[in-house]
Amino acid sequence: MLKKTLFAAATAVFATLAAGVAHAEPAKPECIAPAKPGGGFDLTCKLAQSGLQDGGLLKAPMRVTYMPGGIGAVAYNTVIANRPAEAGTIVAFSGGSFLNLAIGKFGKYNENDVKWLAAVGADYGAIIVRADAPFQSLKDLIEATRANPGKVVYGAGGSVGSQDWMKSALIAREAGVNHKNMRYVAFEGGGEAMAALMGGHVQAYSGDASEVLGHLKGGRIKVLAILAPERLKGELADIPTAMEQGYNVDWTITRGFYVGPKVADADYQWWLQAFDTMMATPEFDKLREERGLFPYHLTGDALTAYVQKEVARYRELAAEFGLTAQ
């Protein structure tokens, strides 16, 4: 059913493109995942691969290649400096890419040095505690942090300056606590952080919404807040956002793609049409949900404006928390 529906959509795209400018479908499409296999960048590329290739929007098979280094920095620099005009190459990004751009971890290049293509899904921060924790709301956790910063230990899968650390630091800020006095324990990943929470080694875990469903069903955790602009739909609809509880904490983790700065406009438009068509189908919604992502659809100019706004916001946060590229 997925292939049949997307093939019909693809036929419509090809007909539309043929009637207008001669947009060029890439002969050798490639998606670069800026990390080792198995992580979020890999997931993002595989999502595009399934949606575009298997559904017939791409006639040629899409290759997924891996370019680890600097949490996206190596791929960003390589595409801009050495492969800027490759029409068939798209590169995966995440909200963490924006943070690294803001801090300066991508070197001399900034957010204006690539062409932002499409955001295809999102995840959101979540503040998680054990089911038997004394905190019944985000306010309870924040008040406890304010009263005794040394007693409430936060943990997550990232070191100081990472996305997960920033979520904890933003909660500390809302409590009026200097982030340098916040107790934070860094783990190798979300699995270790969740295990530490279950073991009572940390009192709060600043993780992601996509991680919590299985644990919620098991009755082992409470989610005090989702760090999203508005409530999520589906199984997490009953969990309030931090904003509706009166705290200005939003951590939206977008996932999507960019292309090199010298990719021809006609080729760029082909990709835009393909992504817009793919994301308009209910079958793609299922593919995205299977990968633990939530609906998020921005392309072209709208995505570019969003990226510029987010990087500017992260620069302000980086300055506030004293973060610089190492």
Structure tokens at 62: 């899409």
Residue 134 in 3-state DSSP?
coil
Q: What is the pLDDT of residue 53?
A: 86
Full-prediction pTM beyond 0.95?
A: no
Q: What per-residue confidence (pLDDT) applies to 326?
A: 56
The Cα 182–Cα 267 span in angstroms is: 48
Tokens of 97: 């890419």
Phi and psi torsions of 198, nearest 5°: -60, -35
pLDDT of residue 12: 45
pLDDT of residue 269: 97
CATH superfamily of 2-122+252-321: Bordetella uptake gene, domain 1 (3.40.190.150)
Residue type, 146: R
pLDDT in tens, 154-201: 999 888 888 889 999 999 999 999 999 999 999 877 889 999 999 999
Residues in the chain with pLDDT values less than 70: 1-23, 325-326
Instruction: Give Cβ neighbours of residue 262 (< 8 Å, ≥ 6 apart).
Output: 84, 85
Give the model's pLDDT for residue 213: 80
Residue 47, pLDDT score: 96
Round to the nearest angstrom and report the end-to-end CA distance of the chain: 49
Residue 22 is predicted with a pLDDT of 47
CATH 3.40.190.10 is held by the domain 123-245: yes
Tell me if domain 2-122+252-321 and domain 123-245 are identical in fold: yes
Q: What is the pLDDT of residue 325?
A: 67
- Within 10 angstroms of residue 190's Cβ, the number of other Cβ atoms is 17
Domain boundaries, the chain: 2-122+252-321, 123-245
Distance in angstroms (rounded) separating the CA atoms of residues 207 and 168: 9
